[in-house]
Each structure stands twice: as C-alpha cells, then as structure tokens.
Structure 1
C-alpha cells in the first residue's frame, strides 16, 4: 500500500492555490472555485484542496513535506514572501523542521529526516 493523496479543506481556494504553487507544488487539476489537485515535485503523492463553508475546529491539519536541502528551500520560500512561524531547527526526534501556516491556518512542516524518517533508532523491529 502507498499513500496516494491527502485532501484538505479551504475557505478561499484561489488563495490556497497560489500558496501551494509558491511552495513548489505543480497544479494538475483546476476545478476552481470548488477543487484543485497538486502533484508533489518529488515522488508520486498528490495534495487536493476542496472548498468548504467552515473549517474543522480544534487541531486542524498538519502536512509534512520533506526536502533534502531544507535550509535552502526555506530561504528560497522566504524570498517569495512566505512567512515562517519557526525557522529550521533540529528536533529531538532527529528531524530538522521549519513551520509555516497556509492561508487557512493548516500547519505546513517542511523537514529533512533522511534515514530517520522511517528508521529512527527507536523503531520497532520487524
């Protein structure tokens, strides 16, 4: 089994579309104003966004995108006007992460974990 796509809600699909294009995703389905789908620049995963009247309450959505050159990516995205709520930093779970919010308040975590993404030292043996 492989994760194909994740779909998230948005109150303003046009604004969300521009945000994710700036982030580097490739728009592959444009059914504005109700639905869009993006392809990630690496791998086969896609991200869909659909128009809603209200956003989920409480924790919302967190989306992780991995990049081997995290610090350079963050610098590039800042130069395009994206605002980060945390700069790249090494986490105790052996990932390096930077956080920002999309226009609907969904948390976007850009990170680099390398081998620790699926094989941290505390992984349960098969």
Structure 2
C-alpha cells in the first residue's frame, strides 16, 4: 500500500489554491469552487482541498511536508508573505520542524526528518 493523497477542508478553495501554490505545490486539478488537487514537488504524492460549509471543530488534521533544506525553505516562504507560528527548531523526536496554518486554520508542519523519519532509534524491531 502507498499513501497517495490527503484531502483537507476549506471554506474558500480558490483562496486556498493561492496559498498552496505559494508553498510550492503544483496545481493539477482545478474544479472550482469545490475542489482542487496538487502534486507535491518531490515524490509522487498528491494533496487536495475540498469545499465545506463549516470547518471541523477541534485540532483537526496535522499535515506534514518534508523539506530537505527546511531553514532556507522557511526563509523563502517568509519572503513570499507566508506567516509561521513556529520557526524551525529541533524536536526531541529528532526532526527539525516549522509550523504554520493555512488560510482555513489547518495545521501544517514543514519538517526535515532525514533517516529518523522512518528509522528513529526507538523504531520497533521486527
């Protein structure tokens, strides 16, 4: 099995498209006003947005996008006007992360996990 796509809710898909294009995702399906799908710049994963009348309550979904050069990517995005809630910092789980929210308040984490993304020291041994 391979994860193909994550879909998040949005009150305004058109506005969300602009935000995600600024992040560097490539728009591949434009079915405004209800749906849009992007391909990630690295790998084969896709990411989509669908229109909702109301956003879910609570913390919602956390979406992680891995960036090889996290600090420079954050610097580049800040220059494009993207606001970060948390600048890149090293985490106890051995990832470096920066946190932000999209135009609908969905939690995004740009991170670099390197070998620890799949193989942390505490990985279950088979």
Aligned equivalent of 1:35: 35
Aligned length: 126
Unaligned residue ranges in structure 1 (runs of 5+): none
Q: Structure 2: where are the runs of 5+ without partners?
A: none
TM-score, normalised with respect to structure 1: 0.99
Once the two structures are superposed, what CA deviation does each residue of 1:37-56 show, in whole Å capped at 9, x if it has no partner?
A: 00000001000100000011
Q: Determine the structure 2 residue equivalent to 1:68.
A: 68
Map of 1:25-104 to 2, 5 A cutoff? 25-104=25-104
Name the TM-score, length of structure 2 as normaliser. 0.99
Deviating 4+ runs (over 4 angstroms) = none
Return the offset for 1:84.
0.2
